[in-house]
Chain A
Amino acid sequence: KQEVTQIPAALSVPEGENLVLNCSFTDSAIYNLQWFRQDPGKGLTSLLLIQSSQREQTSGRLNASLDKSSGRSTLYIAASQPGDSATYLCAVRPVRTGNQFYFGTGTSLTVIP
Chain B
Amino acid sequence: NAGVMQNPRHLVRRRGQEARLRCSPMKGHSHVYWYRQLPEEGLKFMVYLQKENIIDESGMPKERFSAEFPKEGPSILRIQQVVRGDSAAYFCASSPRLAGEPNNEQFFGPGTRLTVL
Contacts and interface: CB of A to CB of B under 8 A. Distances in A.
Interface of A: 4, 31-32, 34, 36, 41-46, 49, 51-53, 89, 91, 93, 97-106
A105 B99 contact: no
A34 B106 contact: yes
A51 B102 contact: yes
Given A89-B42, A89-B43, A103-B43, A43 B106 contact: no
26 contacts: A4-B42, A31-B104, A42-B110, A42-B111, A43-B6, A43-B109, A43-B111, A44-B43, A45-B108, A52-B102, A53-B102, A89-B43, A97-B56, A97-B58, A98-B99, A98-B100, A99-B45, A99-B99, A99-B100, A100-B48, A100-B56, A100-B59, A101-B35, A101-B43, A104-B42, A106-B42
A44 B45 contact: no
A52 B111 CA distance: 28
Contacts, number: 73
Given A4-B42, A103-B44, 12 more contacts: A32-B104, A43-B6, A43-B91, A43-B109, A46-B106, A51-B103, A89-B43, A97-B56, A99-B33, A99-B100, A101-B106, A106-B42
Contacts of B107: 46
Interface in B27-56: 33, 35, 41-45, 48, 55-56
B101 interface: yes
Nearest to A50: B102
Nearest to B113: A41
Looking at A51, A98, A99, the one whose CB has the most chain B CB atoms below 10 A away is A99
